[in-house]
Structures are given as C-alpha cells and as structure tokens.
Amino acid sequence: MKDSPATDNSDLASFGYRQELKRSMGSFSSFAAGFSYISILTGLFQMFYLGYGVAGPAFFWTWPFVLAGQLLVALCFAELASRFPLSGGVYQWAKLTGSPFFGWMTGWIYMACLVTTIAAVAMALQVSLPQISNAFQIIGTSDDAKSVAVNAILLGSILIVTSTIINARGIKLLAMINNIGVFAELIGIIVLIVLLFLNRLRSPIEAVINMKFTGSAFQAFPDLKILLAATALTASYVLYGFDTAGTLAEETHDPRKKAPRAILQALLAAGFAGLLVLLFALMAAPDLGNPDLGNIRGGLPMLVKSVLGETTGILFLCIVIFAIIVCTLAVHSGAVRLMFAMGRDGYLPFSESLSKVSPKTQTPVLATLLCGLGAIIILVMNLQFPKVFELVTSIAILWANLAYWIVVALQLKNRIKLARDGGDTDARFSLGKWGFPVNILALIWSSFMVINVSWPRTSTYGLEWYNQYAAWMYTTGLICLGLIIYYIKSKKRRRIS
C-alpha cells in the first residue's frame, strides 16, 4: 500500500517533529536531487584538468576505484535513510545512531562542507564560460592565473546570488528546475558519449594503459604515489553528495522507500556515465600529449570542442553551464535543509530564526540567505590565492568524507550493539547479513579518503606550505569553533531545563 501524506506526517511525528516543509517530491525528483549534486557535466568538466595534469590518461583508473569505495558508503547511507527519513541527513543519522554531540559535530562539519561546495561548484563557470566566449573573462586575461581566480570568484558569486533567490522561492520551483536540468543533463551525457565513441582514434587499451600518442608529456604508466594524488582530485570531488536524497526526506513522499533507492540510483547512474565519458574522451582526444589537457584553460571543454568541432562543442558547453547552475541549486538546497534541521533542534546560534519556515514558500528563508552569503564569503576570503580551485575543492572533499567517516563509524558501533542485544534495524531497505562486511569496508574506505585528500602534495597545492596544509588548518579551526558553539548551546539548554 502506497504511503499517503498523512502516513508520512505521522511517521515524522514519531520522531518528535511536525510537518513544516512542503512534501511534494516524487521518485524522480528524489533521484534528481542526488544526481544533480554529483552532476557529471559539472564535476568532470571542472576538474578533469587537475586529474589529467597530475597523472595523465592513467587518472581514468581513479574513477572506478573511487566509485567502488563510495558505493560502500552509499549502501550504508541507504539503510540509514530508510530508518531515519528526516531533513538533515547525516546530522540526523549520526545523532540517532550515536548521540546529540556526534550529531552536532557531523552536522557542523557537513554544513561547512556544503557551503564550501556551493562556492566550489559555482566556480566551475570559469572553466567553461570563457571557452564559449572571451567576453566571460571579465577580469584580466585567461593567461594570468591570478586573473582567472578572481574572475572565477566573480562569476561564482553571481551564480550563488541566483541560487539563493531560486531556493528562497520554495521547493516546487526548485524541484521543477532540478528535474528539467537532470533530464537535459542525462540526454546531453548520452549524446556526448555516443559522439565521442563515434570519433574515437584509439582503443581503450591504448588510451588508458599503453598510452600511445604523439606527445611526450606522459611516457609510462605512473606510479602509485602519482595515482593517489590523482585520486584526491577529480573522482573524489565528483562522487560525493549522493546522500542529498536523504537530506530532502521530509519533502519526499514515502521517503523510507524512495530515499534509499534514490541514493543508490544517483551514485550508480552518475558513476557509470562518468566512466564512459572519461574513457571515450581519452579514446577520441586528438593528442593525449597536449599539455593543455592538464591546464584550466583547456581540460575537457577544450577536448570536446576539438573532437566535435567548435559549434557542436560550444553547444555542449552550454548544456554544461545549465548543469552547473542546477548542481549549485541542489547543493544549496541540501545545505539549507541541514541548517534548518540543526536549528530546529536548537543547536545553532539563532536557532529559532534559522528553523523558521516561511508560510508562503514553506522554505527556511533565513537559512537560505545565510548559506548563500557564507559561500560568497568563502570565495572572497580566497581572493589572493591563484590555487583557489584546488584549495576550495580539497577542503570540501575533506569535510564531506570526514562527516561520512563519523556516520559509518557510528553505524558500525550501533550495528554491533543491535546484534549483541538481538535488536532489529527496522528498515525497509536493509543490508541483512552483508551489513557488517559492507559497513567495515565503508569505514576503511572513508578513513583512506580523509587521509588521502588531506595529504600535503606540491603537485596538487603548489609549493606554498599554507596551501599544502590549508585543509587541516581550516579543519582544526572548524572543529574548535564547533566545540565552543556546542558547549555554549548545551550549557544554555541545561540552564533552561
């Protein structure tokens, strides 16, 4: 029997919350939320040059490696989404499998990740727009690294303002744009895969193993150290955020069933499509030794234009721009729901205002504005860093996987406790006997991701020490600030009670 809105509301009430957000999302909208967050056309076109610049064509192998690892985490999250269909996703899952403190720290870290990701995704406009027209290089020239960084911040800020306005209008408008965007992106990806395959110049083995080409940039398959550096970039940046369907659970019909399915569908669809785009792009590239493939002025946008021709290539870049806009909207919506959930529980400064839902739009407007403002501030703070792309994205990846690590660790602890006590997970999606091995492997994988992404590397972050260690410096500061806020809010709650 299909759950009715009344049943969904009663289910929500069993957790102590009343229905405030508009429950209007169906199966496709739930899938679209996760798929548009991952957004192959955004992440691959934005970050291809970084992975290629580090490891050459062999960076292709980091994609299936990261996809397999993230699938382990996604399976764990699907089970949690079925058990706890609440806004806030990882925050609620950590709180309900661990404690309010762990929920707070997970939510705090992931909220910072999401706001940072808004900034990182919005900067993707810089990779594609100037290749459509030089007029979009508003500041300086594309040959100057500082000008590129400043222009990226300007374009990103304009997109963030647009995203804030749309998100504040309500979930119905957001879901409609998201659905249209995902449908267009799916069609665009399929057509791109077909066209790249039809224009292939070499076999898969020559493209990603033997690497036979006319250039001289990469003469041999790189060693493990180089591949690990490449792993920390493109694939790690693209293949997270699949938990968004769980974050929007209170706006989804029958979320116990639809959210877990959407989490897995979004990751698998995006992962498989991205694998084909990467493989066929490397097979079709005119010259794999072209150094511009590893440069922000070139990368995948340049490759697509060179293979498909200027006119067709620009058309695809226009689809990429639309995908970037939709991805920014999706990330922004996830950040807002997380801030709303934490504010509703009284664990943020000005919690009452942050959790207040507009009666007209049924959206937390103040949370929407603050998430947008926070993303712009992050961009402006990095105005002086030419390595702003690497810096912002590495911090976002680190914080996402740190939050994931906490959740899967608490889930494993809870799983052990339930097994010892003879309890049941009571989930419509359950891993059953595979729960323990999958959960253990997911924890090992998340540990690897946290270490690998944050490892100080000159090939990724440059020679400056503050760039190499920025991720951990920001993380340490974030955790300390979080502990202070949690202590103050907890002390106030105890005094009131």
User: What is the domain-level CATH number for residue 247?
Assistant: 1.20.1740.10
- Alpha-carbon distance of 190 to 102, in angstroms, equals 41
Handedness of CA 490, 491, 493, 497 (dihedral sign): positive
User: Within a domain: residue 195?
Assistant: yes
**Residue among 225, 240, 231 at smallest CA distance from 397:** 240
Which residue range(s) make up the domain with 301?
24-496
- Alpha-carbon distance of 214 to 208, in angstroms, equals 15
**Residue among 299, 284, 294 at smallest CA distance from 128:** 299
User: Within a domain: residue 180?
Assistant: yes
Give the pLDDT score at 497: 54
**Residue among 463, 478, 456, 441 at smallest CA distance from 232:** 456
**Residue among 362, 286, 261 at smallest CA distance from 22:** 362
**Residue among 442, 43, 469, 39 at smallest CA distance from 237:** 43
Q: Which residue(s) pair with 25 in the sheet?
A: 252
- Alpha-carbon distance of 16 to 172, in angstroms, equals 25
Residue 493 contacts by C-beta under 8 Å, 6 or more apart in sequence? 346
Q: What is the largest CA-CA distance in the chain?
A: 73
Give the pLDDT score at 271: 93
If DSSP codes are grouped into helix, strand and coil, which group holds residue 232?
A: coil
Give the burial class of 307: count Cβ atoms within 10 A of its Cβ; 0-12 exposed, 13-18 middle, 19 or more buried.
Answer: buried
User: Within a domain: residue 102?
Assistant: yes
**Are 333 and 241 a contacting pair, CB within 8 Å?**
no
Give the pLDDT score at 494: 64
User: Within a domain: residue 17?
Assistant: no
Rounded to a whole number of angstroms, the CA Rg of the chain reads 22
Give the pLDDT score at 170: 80
- Alpha-carbon distance of 195 to 83, in angstroms, equals 43
Residue 128 contacts by C-beta under 8 Å, 6 or more apart in sequence? 45, 46, 301, 317, 320, 321, 324
Type of residue at 52: Y
Whole-model pTM? Answer: 0.87
User: Within a domain: residue 6?
Assistant: no
Q: What is the pLDDT of residues 412-453, one digit of tens each?
A: 998 888 777 765 556 678 888 899 999 999 999 999 999 888
DSSP classification of residue 455: S
Q: What is the dihedral of CA 370, 239, 50, 185, to 10 degrees?
A: -80
- Alpha-carbon distance of 242 to 240, in angstroms, equals 6
User: Within a domain: residue 45?
Assistant: yes
Q: What is the pLDDT of residues 194-249, one digit of tens each?
A: 999 999 998 888 888 765 544 444 555 667 777 888 887 788 888 988 888 888 88
Tell me the CA end-to-end span of the chain in Å, nearest whole number.
42
Give the pLDDT score at 221: 64
**Are 267 and 63 a contacting pair, CB within 8 Å?**
no
Give the pLDDT score at 355: 85
Strands (E) across 199-324 are located at: none
- Alpha-carbon distance of 163 to 445, in angstroms, equals 33
Q: What is the dihedral of CA 199, 203, 208, 213, to 10 degrees?
A: -80
- Alpha-carbon distance of 232 to 39, in angstroms, equals 18
Strands (E) across 239-317 are located at: none
**Are 237 and 43 a contacting pair, CB within 8 Å?**
yes
User: Within a domain: residue 167?
Assistant: yes
CA angle 267, 85, 490 (to 5 degrees): 110
Q: Which residue(s) pair with 66 in the sheet?
A: none
User: Within a domain: residue 432?
Assistant: yes
Domain count, the chain: 1
Type of residue at 356: K
With a cut of 50, list the residues of the chain below it in pLDDT: 1-3, 213-217
Residue 490 contacts by C-beta under 8 Å, 6 or more apart in sequence? none
